[in-house]
Each structure stands twice: as structure tokens, then as C-alpha cells.
A and B are shown apart, each in its own frame.
Chain A
Amino acid sequence: MTFWLLLTVNSVTFGGLLFLLSAGFSLIFGLMRIPNLTHGSMFMLGAYFGTTLLSGVLGVRFSFWLAAIVCAIQVAILGALMERLLLRRLAGQQLAQVLVTLGVSFMVADLCLMGWGGDPISVATPPGLNGFIRLGAAVFPLYRLAVIAIAVIFALALWLMLERTRLGAMIRAGVDDPQMARVVGIRVSQLFTIVFALGAGLAGFAGLIGGPILSVYPGIDQDMLPLALVVVILGGTGSLLGSFVGSILIGFIYNFGQALLPELAYFILFLPMVLVLVLRPQGLFGGQVL
């Protein structure tokens, strides 16, 4: 019983992390119609930047939460730069854009290997969240519960932003019909930069937040990217609700798969994606047919 409870908490935690990663991926996909294959790299960059900030830059040691915010901003700036300098040059050529993101992801992976070495770097759990909560016989790590709370807060904030603000309305318009959005005077290309930066920042944030659970290692980008891909295919592109439900679902499948069938965990992970593709190509909550 304890085993199952703990597995459930781990699944929801991982789902929360995946949501932070894939919400941006889904928005970028919905708006720009391209899978951003650097998204895993953004996750990894955030984590590596974070570890550097935690160990101290120029004698200044950052607290965990401050480091998370700073590394998110750093990665967001990188994302905006990439959108402005590279993807903008190839506007309208989606295939070329995808290939460029793929190329950049290899460059980032190699640069990280150069900068931070090949050994995994563990991230200490932030002070105050080291403890456990006891519920009967079950013991829940406090940090994992905190990650769930963070994911829920971000989901709510993103939802409010998309549904209740002017920027959100413009993004929704861009997702639904970019041409018409342009016609009514929305600067969609500016939205591209904003959403790209937002998505990259969220991924970078998730990178450090996930650090105490996953640690940081070369290749984590290639581990996380397919997960984001699966979540978005499952949930539907451009849909926040889709990302949320898809993330939790994949969180469960991933963790239960790892625990029960470790050799086939990766395979089981992709089964729901295949099922969705065959039975409901637009994803569970997506508007656009894939």
C-alpha cells in the first residue's frame, strides 16, 4: 500500500515537472506550428545554469528559489534570441525551422558537455523542504509535494494569463488563426518571440526544479524532449488543459512503467501516443487535427 502511495506521489510530481516543460512546448507548437526540438536543451541549460548559480558566481551564492528564477530568465533570453536571430530568418519555412532547432540542440548538448563535464551533478534539496510528511504508515518527501504545488500554481497562473489578459487573448487568437489575427492588427511575429521566451523560461525553470529529483547529466535533454513530444501529441497542441492532463498521465505511465516493467518502460510510454494517433489524431483536448 505504501509502495503504491509513494509511486502515485512520484507520478504526480513527475507529471508536474512535465507540465512545466510541455506547457511551453505546446504553446510554441500551437502558435508557430513547429515542434521546438531545443526544448529539452532549454530544460538542460536551465538545470546547468542553476547548478552554477547555486555553487556561486563571483562569490555570490544564490538561494535555490532565486537561482530558479534567474536561470529561468537566462534561458528565456536565450530562447528569445534564438527566435529573433535564427527562426525569424526562416519565417514561413517550418521544415527549415525544425531542422535548425535540431541543429541547435546538438550544439547546446555539446557545449554543455564542454562546460559542465560528463559527470552527473546532483542538486541539493532546498533547505526547509528536506523533511517528510507522515500519513499513517506512508512517508511523503516534502520537496515532491512542493513541486506538485508549484506545478499547480503555474498551471493556474498560465490559465489566468491565457484566459483573462489581453496578451493571453492575443496568443489564443494567434493559435486559432494566425492570418486573421494579423488582419485584426495583432503583431503575431512579436507574439512568437514572447511565447518562445516564455516556453524556454518555463523549461529552464523546470530544469532546476527537477534537479533535486532527477539530478543533471549530459543527455537529459534527449530524455526529456521525447516526453514533451508525447505529452503534446497526447494532449493536443496549443491546449493548456491538454498539456496538464497529458503530463499527469505520462507521469503515471512513466513511473509505474519504471517500477513494474523497467525493461519496457520506454516502450509503454509511447503506447498511449500511438493509440491517440490512431483513434483521435487531434489529441485529447486539441482543436487542430494533427
Chain B
Amino acid sequence: MSNVTFARSLAALIAVVALAALPYAIKEVYYVNIASQILLYAIFALGLNILVGYAGLVSLGHAGLFGIAAYVVAYLLVAGHGHVLAIVAALAAGLVATAGFAALSLRSTGIIFIMITLALGEIIWGLAYRWISLTNGDNGITVPARPTPFGIALGSARAFYVATLIVFLIAIVAAGIFVRSPFGAALRGTRDQPRRMNALGYHVWMIRFWAFIFSGLLTAMAGVLFVYYNQFISPQALALTASAESLLMVISGGAGTLFGPVVGAALVVIVKNVVSAYVERWNFMLGAIFVAIVVFMPEGLVPGVVRLTRSIWRGRARTKASLPMTAGPRQ
């Protein structure tokens, strides 16, 4: 084991211990809940980042996938089914919907991909909003209780935080393995040089498809956590704003980096909670942050800060940055 690997493992271990100790260090339920929110949105952002950062495909419809999983859980629980069935069915429904999204949207890349995913996300939102006999419309569905895996009740903020942390750790390890695997390398290849990858014999469409599926799985996991966290789901969680929010997490933290979306999720959740405590204008802030980041720090906070500190240390002129995701022309 080299020094760098050792240092990295040590840092990861310390981070995990710190995260696990967090609810015992801070006593206020409010802050524990915010930490849970950050982790569950981080899972969502990790999922979206697979697509945005590593495949170079910007989706504006991911809140639809998030919402489908959440609605399936809520619907099945209200219908009187057990938690296991609800969660499994939700993940399955999320995967089926993701496959549908992928089949329709992967016909193209770039701007058109954005438009198709946006339209698909709006369809799901429209269904949740208007199909009142199924989804209860704008009033939403209230979920009776959180599950009790292995006899441990998740009713308290602290217990739910620990459960969320476990799912989050599974998700980030899975994402890390996925990104560092040969498949992850091939995926980055399809982002940077789709034609060359095609010429090398890679099935570009198939690689993008499986990346989309993985992204959808993480998103559905976040959706399940979301509905258990709030014990409530309404069409608002599926709106375009929600998709944009998750995209902002990915881009603000740094698309195409493993930890960027986690930082972005923390930033957005904290700003959202702090700002909404003082003013009602969260949407305005969301838009303003979006514009500012795209114009001034397009590569995101994590790589942006790294770049700025490096250029300060080395006294080098600031290199020009641009958004990292640029999927090539369609095949």
C-alpha cells in the first residue's frame, strides 16, 4: 500500500467516523435533520453526476425518476403493503422508468438531450399533478410510518440519519467503484470522444444506457429516502425546480468529480434552509446562484477552488475554465 493510498484510506475512515458521530455531537434535532437532508440529496446528486459529469449528458428530468420511486413507496404503503415490498417495487419502478427515459432521450446528446429529458420530467410531473385519483394531486400522499429494519425504529431524527448515512456510504462506494472501473473509463471516453470510441469497437449507446440505469438507481434510492424522511410526497418534489436544484448541486460542487456533488448538495441544502428561514425568495436565490456559477465558476466549487489555490500557489495566470460536460455529436 503506497503512502498516498494509505493517506486516502485514513482520510476516508476519519470522514466516515466523523459523519457517524455527527448526530451525537450535535444535539438539536433540526440540525440532525438538515444533515439527513444533505446526505439524501447527495445520493440524488451522485446519481445525476454519473450522467452529467461522467457521460456528458445533462438531464433536466431526474426529479421525475426521483418522484416515481417516492410515489410508488407512498402509494403501496397507503394501500397497506409492507415496507420491503414498497421499497423493492419503488426501485424496480424507478429502473423501468429510467430505461424508458434512456430509450427516448439517448437518441441524441447535447441540447436536444436536455430538451427531451425536460419534457419527460414534465410528463411525470403532469401525471402526479393531474392524475388525482392515483396521486391525490396537489394534496399529495402522506406516508403513515417509517420502516423498522431489524427491529430498529427509524422514527427519531438520529436513527433516520444513521440509516441515511449507511445508504449514502453504499451509494458513494458504488459510485466510486463504478467511476474507477473499466466501464467508467469507457463512459468518460464516450463523453470526450464518442466517434473514436465507436471506431474502437465500443457500443457507445449501450455504455450510455447502462450509465443512465445506474444513475436512475441512485436517484430512485434517494427518492425512497426522501419519502420516508418527509413522510409525505407531493408533485412539488417532481417539478422542474427540483430537477434544476439537483443539477445545481452537481454543477456547483463540480461535475465529473466524486465528491463535488456531495459538497454541492451540502451547499444547496444549507443555503436553502438558511435563506428560507429569513426570506421567502428561495427560487430567486436558486436562479441567481445558478447564473453566477455558470458565468463565474463553471467547473464547480471543488475543482474551482483547487484551480484557484493552485494558480495562487504557483503564481500562474488563471486558466480559463468551462463547463466540463460536452458530449460529442451524435453517432
- Interface, chain A (partner B; CB < 8 A): 33-35, 86, 89-90, 93-96, 98-100, 102-111, 113-114, 222, 226, 229-230, 233, 262-267, 269-270, 273-274, 277-278, 281, 290
Q: Contact: A229 with B118, CB < 8 Å?
A: yes
Minimal beta-carbon separation of A101 from chain B (angstroms):
9
Question: How would residues 119 to 143 of chain B score, 1 for a CB under 8 Å from any chain A CB and 0 otherwise?
Answer: 1101100110111110000000000
Question: How would residues 236 to 269 of chain B score, 1 for a CB under 8 Å from any chain A CB and 0 otherwise?
Answer: 0001110010010001000000000000000000
A55 to B110, CA, bound (A): 44
A269 to B241, CA, bound (A): 21
A290 to B119, CA, bound (A): 14
Q: When the two chains form the complex, which single residue of A35, A113, A266 contacts B123, counting CB atoms closer than 8 Å?
A: A266
Contacts of A281 in B (CB 8 A): 107-108
A91 to B164, CA, bound (A): 42
A86 to B296, CA, bound (A): 12
A270 to B107, CA, bound (A): 17
A114 to B295, CA, bound (A): 25
Q: Contact: B322 with A277, CB < 8 Å?
A: no
Number of A-B residue pairs at CB separation under 8 A: 125
Task: Give the interface segment out of B24-32, B281-289, B305-313.
Answer: B281-289
Q: When the two chains form the complex, which single residue of B111, B116, B123, B288 contacts A34, counting CB atoms closer than 8 Å?
A: B111
A114 to B279, CA, bound (A): 12
Q: When the two chains form the complex, which single residue of A105, A222, A233, A264 contacts B130, counting CB atoms closer than 8 Å?
A: A264
Beyond A93-B298, A106-B287, list 9 extra A-B contacts (CB 8 Å).
A99-B247, A99-B323, A103-B287, A104-B287, A107-B291, A109-B283, A222-B239, A266-B122, A267-B131
Q: When the two chains form the complex, which single residue of B115, B123, B240 contacts A267, counting CB atoms closer than 8 Å?
A: B123
Minimal beta-carbon separation of B305 from chain A (angstroms):
19
Q: Contact: A93 with B111, CB < 8 Å?
A: no
11 contacts between A and B (CB under 8 A): A93-B298, A93-B322, A95-B325, A96-B294, A96-B322, A96-B323, A229-B119, A264-B130, A264-B131, A266-B122, A267-B127
Minimal beta-carbon separation of A86 from chain B (angstroms):
7
By beta carbon, the residue of chain B nearest A33 is B111
Contacts of B115 in A (CB 8 A): 35, 229, 233
Asked if B114 is an interface residue, CB under 8 A from chain A, the answer is yes
Q: When the two chains form the complex, which single residue of A90, A94, A102, A278 contacts B104, counting CB atoms closer than 8 Å?
A: A278
- Known A-B contacts A102-B244, A281-B108; the reply to A262 vs B130 at CB < 8 A is yes
A264 to B120, CA, bound (A): 14
Minimal beta-carbon separation of B141 from chain A (angstroms):
16
- Known A-B contacts A109-B283, A274-B104; the reply to A95 vs B111 at CB < 8 A is yes
A290 to B60, CA, bound (A): 17
Contacts of A111 in B (CB 8 A): 284
By beta carbon, the residue of chain A nearest B240 is A222
- Interface, chain B (partner A; CB < 8 A): 58, 60, 104, 107-108, 110-112, 114-116, 118-120, 122-123, 126-127, 129-133, 239-241, 244, 247, 251, 281, 283-284, 286-291, 294-295, 298, 322-323, 325-326
A104 to B116, CA, bound (A): 20
Contacts of B122 in A (CB 8 A): 226, 266, 270
Q: Tell me whether chain A's interface is mostly helix, strand or loop, or mixed.
A: helix
Contacts of A267 in B (CB 8 A): 123, 126-127, 131
Q: Contact: A99 with B294, CB < 8 Å?
A: yes
Q: When the two chains form the complex, which single residue of A106, A108, A273, A290 contacts B241, counting CB atoms closer than 8 Å?
A: A106
Q: Contact: A265 with B130, CB < 8 Å?
A: yes
Minimal beta-carbon separation of A236 from chain B (angstroms):
12
Minimal beta-carbon separation of B185 from chain A (angstroms):
23
By beta carbon, the residue of chain A nearest B131 is A263
Q: Contact: A106 with B111, CB < 8 Å?
A: no
By beta carbon, the residue of chain B nearest A108 is B287
Minimal beta-carbon separation of B61 from chain A (angstroms):
11
Q: Contact: B104 with A110, CB < 8 Å?
A: no
Q: When the two chains form the complex, which single residue of A34, A230, A263 contacts B133, counting CB atoms closer than 8 Å?
A: A263
Q: When the two chains form the complex, which single residue of A95, A104, A233 contacts B326, counting CB atoms closer than 8 Å?
A: A95
Contacts of B287 in A (CB 8 A): 102-108, 110
By beta carbon, the residue of chain B nearest A35 is B115
Minimal beta-carbon separation of B106 from chain A (angstroms):
11
Q: Contact: B291 with A103, CB < 8 Å?
A: yes
Contacts of A263 in B (CB 8 A): 130-133
B115, B283, B295: residue with the most chain A Cβ atoms closer than 10 Å: B115
A230 to B115, CA, bound (A): 9
A263, A265, A281: residue with the most chain B Cβ atoms closer than 10 Å: A263
Contacts of A105 in B (CB 8 A): 287
Q: Contact: A106 with B290, CB < 8 Å?
A: yes
Minimal beta-carbon separation of B28 from chain A (angstroms):
30
Contacts of A95 in B (CB 8 A): 58, 110-111, 114, 323, 325-326
Q: Contact: A230 with B119, CB < 8 Å?
A: yes
Contacts of A109 in B (CB 8 A): 283
By beta carbon, the residue of chain A nearest B52 is A95
Q: When the two chains form the complex, which single residue of B112, B281, B295 contacts A89, counting CB atoms closer than 8 Å?
A: B295
A278 to B289, CA, bound (A): 36
A93 to B118, CA, bound (A): 19
Minimal beta-carbon separation of A84 from chain B (angstroms):
14
By beta carbon, the residue of chain A nearest B60 is A102
Contacts of A262 in B (CB 8 A): 130
- Known A-B contacts A93-B323, A104-B291, A106-B283; the reply to A35 vs B114 at CB < 8 A is yes
Q: When the two chains form the complex, which single residue of A110, A229, A265, A278 contacts B284, counting CB atoms closer than 8 Å?
A: A110
Minimal beta-carbon separation of B110 from chain A (angstroms):
7
Q: Contact: A266 with B110, CB < 8 Å?
A: no
